[in-house]
Amino acid sequence: MKRRRILATVAMLAAGTGLVACSSDEGGSDASNCTNTITKQNVPVVTMWGWYPNTQLVVDNFNKQHDDVQVCWTNVGQGGDEYDKFQTAISAGTGAPDVIMVEADRIPTFQIQGALVDIKQYGYDAVKANYSEGAWKDVSVGDAVYGVPVDGGPMGMIYRKDIFDKYKITPPKTWAEYEQAAQKVKDAGGPLFGDFGANVPAVLMALQIQKGATPFTSDPAQPNAIGVKLNDQASKDVLDYWGGLAKKGLVGTQNQFTPEYISGVINGNYATYISAAWAPGYLTGAGVGKGQDTGKFAVAPLPQWDSANPVQVNWGGSAFSVTKQAKKPELAAKVAYGLYADKESLTDGWTNQIIFPLNLTALKDPAFVDLKVAFFGGQQANKEVYVPAADAYQGVQYAPFGQYYLDAMEKQVSEVIKGSITGSQAADRLQEDVAKYAKEQGFTVQ
Amino acid sequence: MGWLFVGPFGVVFLAFLIAPLAYALYLSLFQKKLIGGTSFVLFDNYVKAFTDPSFLSGAWFVIRFSLVSIPVQIIIALALALILDSVTTLFARFSRLMIFLPYAIPTVIGAVMWGFLYSRGFGPLTDIFGLFGATAPDFLSSDLIFYGLLNVVTWQWAGYYMIILYAALQGVDPTLYEAARMDGAGRWQIATRIKIPLIAPALILILVFSVIGTLQFFNEPQILRYLAAGTIGSDFTPNMYAYQQAFSLANFNYGSAISFALGGIVFICVYAFLFFTRKRRSFL
């Protein structure tokens, strides 16, 4: 046990330093900097940034199938690392790739700066039917389309079967039951029931939306106006709920994605992990669910506030966008539409639990729906939890200053965790902070 | 003819120091909004910085941190240099190398390593404290992060300063010690009355280095932020705040203004320090 723990730690630290190392690389756009090898010569090359674990395979698949264009892929870092570089390239007016992997919640941020191309004119009609309306909504601003959906993050409650069995609890269906179950486990001397991490503000935002909050509203006809509503009762309720769980010692307050948290998950320090469909791939990559842990995890639908009117939410998920710096936007759009859209790439993505596909050819494939997921001990997780959650997902209006909002939320949540303010106070402060920023940025705040 | 020799340096100096500085100064006089574009605002960004709680709390943190960490580092470096100067065994040479070694490790790697050592889940502290039935302190929590960082910085820099002081001590004429001994001075007196005053210029040099370095504190908290998000916010130090403004929020104008405001604080602190020690600053 111990040795495995250390190995996992070392691997995580190595991954951490790897990220650091990546971030010092310049994401150059010339073909000599490709991570992949382009075998077909004398063909136009489209540069691309992305960080899916199986990008190499996806890019090779695409290149094999195309004689008119080849993709040159660079991994310039995951999430924020990539966005910081893209942001810098936007400001500099040079250095961005032609095609970039972007999470849906960041599309408005880059779109409002005029950094992305509306790809509706470049073959949208041909692939329109491959994705649901909700999937397109997440990558659109008004009528314009700024990305090709790849994966989504329908949320569920991952839990430890052995812990649930030991303390004789069944998966809670509501958040009230979740708290009761947490109390029961705690009273019996069991582990923490979940985690309230400051560094995953996107999860809290999703949970607030589940309760009925609408953080941002905007009208494409009036791009200068934005509605900011971060301290409505629903948002306060959710922050107070999680702040309360933490205060009562029912859940931990670790930062997620850290070696500390992962080792906790490995050791069974948490009975549940409120996360998205891509989490199993992430956890197995970090060494969870292997060896002695095999088959200990299961998944249940996300607990609800009102079980009569369930609401499904999303965490993460990403798309391919074409940047304004692309020299041949039409060719770049072809890549964006075609990359991670062929059967071979998609199948690899969902069998290895790297992505939860939004492409209907995969989503409706019985092999996908009925898949017995090894991480969940053969449970048909897609059929039971994730596909229904994805089908019921309504889409969200994201902020055009997503990075600022999430940073500000992280700051307030960490105060809640310290116990210096309540969840309601955090929501009020966040409202004030973000509304002020929006005004500074020239928006009319409603 | 002289210009020809200075030329190459001059070109590099202008291209890589003066030009970027001038450009940053120029940027800091503008404001770019997501809606409405760029406009000239003169010193508005500076006015904003000096009333911005994020900038002020970061600046206050690095000033407090300097007041504690610089004396700690210098005292340790000086004590080690004096000890290593007065013993000349193989062990002393080995120790010198070992104490210097942390400086050879990139700060980024050092910070990652300390993040691991501080970890309560699997770091060695848990086992060590466990032997005595105690709980290990969490150096990444908001209460202890000051000391957590203090330790990292001291570990990283004390050895480097020690080498500078040691080199200065080697330059002292040994006949002075002999004369002192003949006058009846003990080791302690030789150290405090002869060695320290004679290496005062080197001490001032490292003090200036450490004031500049500490006020620009960036690497360690930026790396540990990954492990201690929440405790270390994006505005933890002014440099981190400038980085966040420029590179994640695309606000290069305000980021430049913060950098210049920080530069101003560094200049004032260093100037004040040199002013008060002006009699001894033969080194600078």
Record: contact A88-B247, CB cut-off 8 A: yes
d(CA B174, nearest CA chain A) in Å = 47
Look up tokens 């111990």; give the residue.
Answer: A2
Higher-confidence residue: A20 or B264?
A: B264
Min CA distance, A93 vs chain B (Å)?
12
The answer to whether B229 contacts A417, with C-beta atoms less than 8 Å apart, is no
DSSP-derived secondary structure for A85-129: HHHHHHHHTS---SEEEEEGGGHHHHHHTT-B---TTTTHHHHGG
Could you tell me the pTM of the whole model? 0.84
Answer whether B248 touches A (CB < 8 Å). Answer: yes
AA identity, residue A399 = A
Nearest to A401 among B34, B121, B122 (CB): B34
Q: Report CA torsion sign: A47, A49, A50, A54.
A: positive
Strand, helix or coil for residue A445: strand
Give mean pLDDT, residues B213-229.
86
Distance (Å) from the C-alpha of residue B23 to the closest C-alpha of chain A? 13
Distances (CA, A) of A433 to A406, A412, A421, B51, B52: 12, 10, 15, 15, 12
Query: Could you give the CA distance from residue A243 to residue A240 in angstroms, rounded to a whole number?
Result: 5
Coil vs helix vs strand at A425: helix
Q: What is the DSSP letter of A302?
A: P
Q: What CA–CA distance (Å, rounded) separates A96 from A87?
A: 9
Chain centroid, CA A339 distance in Å: 19
Q: In this complex, do B252 and A91 lie within 8 Å of one another by their Cβ atoms?
A: yes
pLDDT by residue for chain A (446 residues), tens only, comes to 333 343 344 344 444 433 333 333 333 345 567 899 988 888 999 999 999 888 999 999 999 999 999 999 999 988 888 999 999 999 889 999 999 999 998 999 999 889 999 999 999 999 999 998 888 988 998 889 999 999 999 999 999 999 999 999 999 999 999 999 999 999 999 999 999 999 899 999 999 999 999 999 988 788 889 999 999 999 999 999 999 999 999 999 988 888 888 888 888 899 999 999 988 888 887 778 777 777 899 999 999 999 999 999 999 889 999 999 999 999 999 999 999 999 999 999 998 888 999 999 999 999 999 999 988 989 999 999 999 999 898 888 888 998 899 999 999 999 999 889 999 999 999 999 999 999 999 999 98
Distance CA A82, CA A405 (A): 18
Asked if the C-beta of A223 comes within 8 angstroms of chain B's C-beta atoms, the answer is yes
* A138 neighbors A395 (Cβ within 8 angstroms): yes
Strand pairing category for A99-103 and A45-49: parallel
How far, in Å, CA of B211 to CA of B157, rounded?
A: 12
Tell me, what's the ipTM? 0.81
Chain A residue closest in CA terms to B36:
A442
CB atoms within 10 A of CB A173: 16
Which chain B positions have a beta carbon within 8 Å of A9's beta carbon?
116, 119, 122
The Cα A361–Cα A342 span in angstroms is 9
CB-based contact A413:A426 (threshold 8 Å): yes
Question: B262 Cβ partners below 8 Å, 6+ apart?
Answer: B59, B215, B216, B238, B239, B242
- How far apart, in whole angstroms, are the C-alpha atoms of residue B53 and residue B68? 22
Non-local CB neighbours of B106 within 8 Å, separated by 6+ positions: none
Distance CA A154, CA A131 (A): 15
CB B190 within 8 A of CB B181: yes
Tokens of A76: 């310039």
Q: Residue B206, Cα to own-chain centre: how many angstroms?
A: 10
Query: What residues of chain A, 193 to 222, have a C-beta less than 8 Å from chain B?
Result: 197-199
A441–B33 C-beta distance less than 8 A? yes
Q: Which whole-number Å values give the CA distances from A135 to A107, A277, A385, in the listed order?
A: 13, 15, 18
Does A258 touch chain B if contact means CB atoms closer than 8 Å? yes
Q: A-chain residues within 8 Å CB-CB of B244?
A: 407
Residue A147 CA: distances (Å) to CA of A69, A210, A330 = 19, 25, 13
Q: Can you tell me the distance from the alpha carbon of B43 to that of B48, in angstroms, rounded to the nearest whole number?
A: 9
CA angle at A360 for the pair A359 and A362, rounded to the nearest 5°: 75
Contact A357, A346 (CB under 8 A): yes
State CA A237 to chain mean position distance.
Answer: 23
Closest CA to B246 of B260, B267, B229, B232: B260
* Measured distance CA(A289)–CA(A299) in Å, rounded: 13
The residue assigned the tokens 């020809």 is B4
Number of other CB atoms surrounding residue B213 within 10 Å? 20
- Tell me if chain B has a CB within 8 Å of the CB of A401: yes
CB-based contact, A16 to chain B, within 8 Å: yes
Ramachandran category for residue A301: left, alpha or beta (phi over 0 → left; psi -120 to 50 → alpha): beta
Q: How far apart are CA B281 and CA B271, in angstroms?
A: 12
- CA B250 to chain A, closest CA, distance in angstroms equals 6
B250–A91 C-beta distance less than 8 A: yes
| Nearest chain B alpha carbon to A443 | B35
Backbone angles phi, psi at B64, to 5 degrees: -60, -45
> Which amino acid is present at A185?
V
Half-sphere exposure of A130 (CA within 13 A, CB side): 21
| pLDDT tens figures, A42-98 | 899 999 999 988 899 999 999 999 999 999 999 998 888 899 999 999 988 999 999
